[in-house]
Structure 1
Amino acid sequence: MIKKHVLLSILGLFIACTVGAQDNSMADEKAIVKSGNMRFTVLTPEMIRIEYSAKLQFEDRASFVVINRHLPVPNFTQEERDGYLYLTTDKLELRYKLGTYPVSNDRCNPNLQITLDVNGVEEVWYPGKQDPYNLKGTTRTLDRAEGDVREWLENGLLSRVGWAVIDEREPRKDGSLSLMFERDTNGGMDWVAQRKDTAALDMYFMGYGHDYKKALGDFTKIAGKIPLPPLYVFGYWYSKFQRYTEQDMRDIVNEIRSRDIPMDVLVIDMDWHRNGKTGSTDGTEWTGWSWNKALFPDPAGFISWLHDEQNLNTTLNLHPADGVFPKEDNYDALYADLAGRYSDIKADSLTNEDGTIRWNIENKDFYKAFFEHILRPHENIGVDFWWVDWQQWMIAQNEPNLGNTFWLNHVFFNDKKLQAKNRPFIFHRWGGLGNHRYPIGFSGDSEATFSSLAFQPYFTATASNVGYGYWSHDIGGHNQEGANDAELYLRWIQYGVFSPILRTHATAAGHIERRIWKYANFEQMRDAIYLRYALIPYIYTMARWSYDTGVGMCRPMYYDYPEADEAYRYEGQYMFGNDILVAPVTSSDKGTNVSEKDIWLPEGKWYEVMTGELIDGGSVVTRSFTREQIPYYYREGAIIPLYPRMMHLKKRPETLTLQFTPGARGEFNYYEDAGNNADYQTACTFTRITQNTEDGRTSCTIYPRTGSFDDMPEERAYRLEFLARNEAPTKVTFSDGTHAVYEYDAEGKKIVISVPKRACSSAITVIIE
């Protein structure tokens, strides 16, 4: 039987490929109920916006969190009786004491309450009620994190109690607030604005019980979708904070290529720029905007070499907070432009005493001039995206309550979007709820220890509870004491294979080595990267699924099994997309080369990929894994698309491998697009693939492709692998009765069928008996 969530995801994918969502911050009038100083907006049967304004100044503008309120009006009733207003949907009953302030100290008879059913038990919420069962969200940074630091995490959108609240007036971790967006009617960027009534209440009650996926899906309906990053982002990134020269980086790339290590992104950390501050001689200035020609004599030529000869993308690290110094290349042009734009501001207000142009990204004129004169020249020579770093603790100086991190992410992402050349994408810190619209995140400077690694699976999966599906960690750990640990680095990389982004990195310390070919277990590390590239078609399809559904690629087990206690207790494992369960090894084997791990396998059968065993679920199993092995499992009936061996993602392979896990039925909707197109919402294709097994007969169908995009392949060959097959088939045919070419791998227990190149517009059915 095809699971309900699979059918829904397929339907959502087809719809999303042809329909683009429109953000409209104004709710339908039919969804709004006013009562004195209160305003309620029924957004879904499970979600109600609650506002109170003594000035009757309610907000219809988009906020940092919520940008769309114009949803289909759900069925609800309203009634006043006995001094109360009642709003009732199919899922909730709201009761409000007329004429009162909604927050009161009477827990037994609150002025405002909402009642819902959670698995047959009545649950009552009122403003100010504490939730000890919140499943948490994420945090701004893992700088200096060692081991389990879950106390750093903010509350998320999901709770075992069955409800959660988005309080738009609650201060964020940096002390900032969720402010408003003033719509730019000329097609420019929406800009920050203060609330009309700064004392008003503005919250969203979410009463979804344990339907966690629906809660997140509805959140992205009001807060915006999780954008799909470019395809190359899911490849391997080489990064290290080190004073590399251009020649050093060319040598590293050449060594990577000569050793057949796949790679798609080369990160250029902060030493790409010279020190901007006057009189600086120690080489430690973080802010700078001009190439250090002593290290990089030909930036344009270097980036052209990366793009054209090495098929690599690149980024530059920025630390923006110190402004623009007089020694910067384009300082005079920026100063003249700003002096003209700031006609009502004195020159001494534009700069500090040393002439540094003050950082003022909260000003729209500054943004336009700064990007035109400082950033655009770098983009024009090929810088693909920006790594926006270091400002995670700052509040804007010229706009009250504006967090610098959130605002930088908004500005950088939307500037890229306005250029409409490629897919918007930045690399940055988490700026608070609503930041899921600006992927991807840089989690900061964690420690290179097993205890720090052990926290990563929980941390990454839990971030999906606020829609933040794309954390990039410093694989290997950032700060490291003592010698390099080959086992630790290998296990970090193996975890990175099954995390959103695979980026090795470390701090500027000469003893830390991140070049995998310098380790004795190099081939094991490279094999892990090979696996990552093999999984790219599955990963990219699941990334699109996240865009369409609001559910992160790495997600906790309780999304799929909300009533199983084990789903909450086994935090070191997670679902990687819809069909792969991962339980990475995160502890040392202490020299034995074998690690034991307790893994909870839910009901059904699970295919252990590294051993080829089909294991019955519904229990906790103890399994052993060598250092070469990663504990990951295919769900019963899963169909997993894989790429052949490849060194980068710029060229689409002609053959696609499809692995079929035993099961009565299975389905996969394979997604493709141009890889970096801004119009991927509609310029995309889906290929539906199914399998059905009954009475020893398996039928596999690859349906005609739907949709289109520029330069899409017209033909494709397939390699079909049917897993966990204990005996060779008696017959393998196509649907027209012709015999298919196949082989039986007795040791690997799989049937391998080669399907010659066929038109993607035609159907292919293979029958195994």
Structure 2
Amino acid sequence: MLVTYKHKTITFFKLLVCNLIFFAGNAYGQNRNQLTPDPKAVVQSGNARFTVLTDQLVRLQWGQSASYDNRASLVVVNRKLPVPAFSTRTENEWFYLKTRKIELAYKINSGVFDSTNLKIRFLNADTVSWKPGQKQKFNLKGTARTLDGQDGEMNLYSNQKLQLEDGILSRDGWFFLDDSQSLRLDHSDWPWVTAPGTPKLDWYFMAYGDDYKSALLDFSKIAGQVPMLPRYVFGYWWSRYWSYSDNELRELVQNLKRFDVPTDVLVIDMDWHTKGWTGYTWNKNLFPDPANFLKWTKDNHLKTTLNLHPADGIQPTEERYHDFAAYIKADSAQKKVIPFEVSNKTFMRGLFDIVLRPIEKAGVDFWWLDWQQWTNDNKIPRLSNTWWLNYTFFTDKAMHSQNRPLLYHRWGGLGNHRYQIGFSGDTFMSWESLAYEPYFTSTASNVLYSYWSHDIGGHILKGNEKGVEPELYTRWLQYGGFSPIMRTHSTKNAAIKKEIWNFAPEYATAQHDAIRLRYALVPYIYTMSRKTFETGIGLCRPMYYDYAKQPEAYSYKEEYMFGDNMLIRPVTTPSKDGFAAVKVWLPKGNDWYEWSTGTLLKGGQVLERSFSINEYPVYVKAGSVIPMYNDQIQNLDNNPNNLILGIFPGGSGNFQVYEDNGNNKNYENQFAETNIVSRIDGNEQIVNIAPAVGRYQGIAERKKIKIKLFGTQPPLKVSVNGKPLQFNPDNQDGSWNYDGGNLCLNILLPEQSCKVARQLRITYNEAPGMLTTAGLVEKFKRLSMITAVLKNSDNGNDGIYIPKNLGIAEETNRLLSYHPMNFANYIENFERCYKLIPEEIQLLKQVSEQERKNLIKLLPPVQ
């Protein structure tokens, strides 16, 4: 038995190691089996060699056959792909290679590729053709290493506009990569940087026209997939450059809980350690017992990341200085600084194994690597320190952690999409910075860099500002809820306070709602992150991915798609008279539901819209199904056993909800999906919830599901699998109720096995129409605002008189919740009263004439 047990233990260990190697290799270009293409994909004409990678992507090499190099480069990590159908022929001294999408022509025995002997055309668009040396005219750009010093597009230190690097996508319709002189990775156990290959030319060319999504997918096939993030990453991150102590952080977290602010990540800046910028030894004045501090973070479901600036090497004062020196065989007796050297494999192994691993094992989940020192390595001048730090930190984590590897650092260049989260740096706190970030973030998707994390609210005060401007910060936080990572941060300045309890109620409420909405949308966001892994398409992506043929998709740069079903137009200017104005372009092809106002708008138009501080311009595609969590969730450690399915008006729709363990490495083949289909059939709406397909560790076998049908009237009847449900206003399982303020029908299904299909039939008095999607939700809100102004008027009013028609109209939403069966009568009465409100306000004596005019302006027009 003992021998068998040992054998099983060794076998398990081997399997674990193999799994780690497979994970690291499959996702990050360390598996040499991926690097040599299928021989069937390769054709040769003299010294010219062509590898058909996809039907629109080809590798072009020129040189002696013995010199062809199939090692991974820093960008290209996979060439063994399914071979697409293609044909070859020779004609009039030209060699032709043709796929379904491109045709390549090379003049036989004509030497090194140039503009006279090589040409490629895209068969799906006559206007797309290419020759060597041809320059792009309309590149759609990629991203940049940092936003340090940026005030919007301008840098206040250099007084220069930020120049984004070129991206993969261009309106020219093609992409060219010269990989000839790129550094390579060797075939060691931890693939390491080495010299470039010897062939004279090693090129990649892709033609795609305006099918941008196919270009991103094909690039991800050769450059590696964007790995899945742990689920907790999509929660709220608290971060501040501050000399926090153990006591202070405990108090902070307790206050966040008191204000019902869910939090998943605690970011601790560089004061956690001793000795200035670079350090690896805990500051015991602030954290007297780091192990117990980290145990407390785990007990409170907080993931912890610490800031590192590794540029100054290993100081003699570090706790592990002598152990590290012994590891790299340095003389520690002289107590000299051991210089940092990212290209030195022994140094980096020692940094991880000797210095950082003990801290990780104590409970640090991932590192915030904040490299802003010299650009390239001292020993390999062409090696970017940022690029190689990303690679080493990420792949070390992949090989030594059972959880998903994660790194939070800066963009290092093409190929860095494999290393996930970007730290964009220290922007100025200004409306200009807020206005630039949506464009910057979505455009980074053009190089697959999908997960920028910004300092929400900005980092540095600008000009004579004395502290945080409440409206600016609130709008920035609202944008943060619809950005890849929701992380607040700022510099060490006592005047910069971003804790929710430092703001007046109107701002604090809006901030709380923004964070809560972010958590509500995590099932949708997480499903989209799976799509990023599978397709390369980012969560925040430019409008031209979906609407390439509509000119506005290229000019409305602040707008972006948030996943497949939401269009976001951030508020980037201050309000006037309590409302912020935005100009929004709604693409044609479908209608759009303005969520905060309850208005269904036609696509194919540009509109001026206005929003109060607790509203945000979120436009949901008509008919969409959006999975959500309820407002009880406090962290994202586990999948809760309840789910909300938000179904939006305007037509039919479907969604496939993705779930997995949330933090293990088995997500490639261990996950579950649940398909939801909603369709309108006359005066009936049918919602089908299919049984969950698939399994993963920790799967919830049973779930409570709540259906929220926005912008709809109360039903005549509701049934589930043929069984009728009754109206019950008390949120009882197996019943329905109606939210009059949001014109939302809520159907509460009892907990049931996820393997059981459910069909809901909702029958209305008539087919769904415009009555409930014409801005009635916004009217209810504005009436409440008017009522509050009157009750708080200080012009001698006793605060209790509300005009009759205003009072009736303002309370209609509550009556709809209480007695939804009287919907038609209440709405008819509401419309009658609403028309009379301006006249009533004009007759009020307790407010001034100007105040009366302002109140009337608050009323949305009668439609």
The alignment's TM-score, normalised by the length of structure 1, stands at 0.90
Give the corresponding residue for 1:281: none
Matches within 5 A, 1:567-582: 567-582=553-568
Report the residue type matching 1:231 in the other structure: R
Q: What is the identity, as a one-letter code, of the residue corresponding to 2:285? A: A
Aligned match of 1:290: 281
**Preserved contact between residue 664 and residue 694 of structure 1 (Cα < 8 Å):** no
Aligned match of 1:303:
294
Alignment of 1:320-719 (within 5 A): 320-339=310-329, 347=330, 355-391=336-372, 393-481=374-462, 482-483=465-466, 484-520=468-504, 521-589=507-575, 591-603=576-588, 604-645=590-631, 646-719=633-706
Counterparts in 2 of 1:691 and 1:392: CA distance versus 1, 3 Å? farther
Task: Report the RMSD for the aligned CA atoms in angstroms.
Answer: 1.9
Indicate the structure whose relative CO is greater, using CA pairs within 8 Å and at least 6 residues apart: 1
Question: In the TM superposition, what is the alpha-carbon distance from 1:193 to its structure 2 partner?
Answer: 1.6
Deviations 1:351-404 (A, max 9, x none): 9x8611121232222222221110011001100000111246421122342111
Cα-to-partner distance string for 1:299-354 (whole Å, 9 max, x where unaligned):
1111111111x211110100112210111000101111111xxxxxxx57x99x86
Partner of 1:212: 212
> Residue 122 of structure 2 corresponds to which residue in structure 1?
116
| Shift of residue 102, structure 1, vs aligned partner | 4.4
CA separation in 2, counterparts of 1:95 and 1:422? 48
Change (3 A) 1:255 1:747: closer
User: Structure 1 counterpart of 2:409, which letter?
Assistant: H
Q: How big is each residue's C-alpha offset from its partner over 1:571-614, in whole Å with a ceiling of 9 and x where there is no partner? A: 1111101111111101112x522111111112221111101111
CA pair 496-731 structure 1, distance change in 2 beyond 3 A: same
Residue range with higher mean Cα deviation, 95-104 or 60-69: 95-104
3-state SS in 2 of match to 1:756? coil
CA distance in 2, matches of 1:547, 1:301: 36
Normalized against structure 2, the TM-score is what? 0.80
| Contact 1:136/1:153 (8 A) holds in 2 | yes
Judged with a 3 Å threshold, the aligned counterparts in structure 2 of structure 1 residues 747 and 478 are, in CA distance, closer, same or farther, namely: closer
Match of 2:233 in 1: 233
What is the DSSP-based 3-state SS (H/G/I as helix, E as strand, rest coil) of the residue aligned with 1:133? coil
1:313 to 292, 303, 318: 303
Change beyond 3 A, Cα 1:178–1:448: farther
Deviation at 1:241, TM superposition (A): 1.1
> SS in structure 2 opposite 1:377?
helix
Separation of aligned partners in 2, 1:75 and 1:653: 46
Residue by residue over 1:120-157, the C-alpha shift from the partner in whole angstroms, topping out at 9 and shown as x without a partner, is x3322112211111111111111112222575211111
C-alpha distance in structure 2 between counterparts of 1:416 and 1:728, whole Å: 53
Report the secondary structure of 1:738's partner residue.
Answer: strand
Give a deviation string over 1:27-55, Cα, whole Å, max 9, x none.
11121122333221111111111223368
Equivalent residue of 2:548, what SS? coil
Larger CA Rg, structure 1 vs 2:
2
Q: Distance in 1 between matches of 2:203 and 2:595?
A: 45
Question: Does the 8 A contact of 1:392 with 1:405 survive in 2?
Answer: no
State which of 40, 47, 53 in structure 1 corresponds to 2:63.
53
Paired with 1:533 and 1:666, the residues of 2 have a C-alpha distance of: 23
The structure with the largest helix share of the pair is: 2
Which residue in the other structure is 2:250 paired with?
250
Q: Retained in 1: the 8 A contact 2:103–2:123? A: no
Q: Is contact 2:509–2:614 with CA below 8 Å preserved after alignment?
A: no
Counterpart amino acid of residue 35 in structure 1 = S
C-alpha distance in 2 between matches for 1:420 and 1:707: 25
Contact 1:420 1:678 in 2 (8 A): no
Asked whether the equivalents of residues 96 and 102 of structure 1 are also in contact (C-alpha less than 8 Å), the reply is no
Whole-Å separation in 2 of the counterparts to 1:579 and 1:212: 18
Give the counterpart letter for 1:598 in structure 2: K
Does the 8 A contact of 2:306 with 2:368 survive in 1?
yes
The answer to whether the aligner puts 1:768 opposite 2:773 as a matched pair is no
Which residue pairs with 1:191 in the alignment?
192
Corresponding residue number in structure 1 for 2:167: 156
**Native 8 Å contact 2:311 2:373 kept in 1:** no
Q: What one-letter code is carried by the residue in structure 2 that aligns with 1:594?
A: F
Q: 1:393 to 1:766 in 2, by over 3 A?
A: farther
Change in CA separation of 1:54 and 1:593 when aligned onto 2, cut-off 3 Å: farther
Change (3 A) 1:206 1:439: same
SS of 2:751 mapped into structure 1 = strand
Q: Which residue of 1 aligns with 2:748?
A: 754
Residues 38, 51 of structure 1: 8 Å contact kept: yes
Whether the 8 Å CA contact 2:93–2:108 is kept in 1: the answer is yes
Tell me how far apart the structure 1 counterparts of residues 107 and 146 of structure 2 sit (CA, whole Å).
42
Q: Secondary structure at the match of 2:232?
A: helix
Helix, strand or coil for the counterpart of 1:152?
A: coil
* Whole-Å separation in 1 of the counterparts to 2:571 and 2:134: 39
Could you list the per-position Cα deviations for residues 149-172 of structure 1 after superposition, in whole angstroms to 9, with x for gaps in the alignment?
575211111111111112225xxx
Long gaps (5+) in structure 1? 1-19, 170-176, 276-284, 340-346
Which aligned segments of 4 or more residues in structure 1 are displaced greater than 6 angstroms? 20-23
SS of the aligned residue for 1:122 comes to coil
Contact 1:319 1:390 in 2 (8 A): yes
Offset of residue 636 of structure 1? 1.5
Q: Are positions 1:181 and 2:166 aligned together?
A: no
> Does the CA-based 8 Å contact 1:165-1:206 persist in structure 2?
yes
Name the counterpart of 2:40. Answer: 30
Given residue 69 of structure 2, which amino acid in structure 1 is its aligned partner?
A: E
Matches of 2:445 and 2:724, distance apart in 1: 47
8 Å contact kept, 2:717–2:762: yes
| TM alignment of 1:7-156, pairs within 5 A | 24-53=34-63, 57-102=67-112, 104=114, 110-117=116-123, 119=125, 121-148=126-153, 151-156=162-167
Mean CA deviation greater in 368-377 or 384-393: 384-393
Distance 2:752 2:538 in 1: 34
For the 8 Å contact 1:241–1:505, the answer to whether it is kept is: yes
Q: What runs of 5+ residues in structure 2 fail to find an aligned partner?
A: 1-25, 155-160, 727-734, 764-863
TM-superposed CA distance for 1:261, in Å, is: 1.1
Partner secondary structure for residue 326 of structure 1: coil
Separation (CA, whole Å) in 2 of partners of 1:761 and 1:151 = 52
- Contact 2:448–2:537 (8 Å) recurs in 1: yes
Deviation at 1:668, TM superposition (A): 0.7
Contact 2:658 2:672 in 1 (8 A): yes
Residue 569 of structure 2 aligns with an amino acid whose one-letter code is A
Q: CA deviation at 1:737?
A: 3.9
Note if contact 1:644-1:653 (Cα within 8 Å) is conserved in structure 2: no
- Secondary structure of residue in 2 paired with 1:41: strand
Contact 1:391/1:404 (8 A) holds in 2: no
Task: Compute the displacement of 1:735 (Å).
Answer: 2.4
Shift, 1:498, TM fit: 0.2
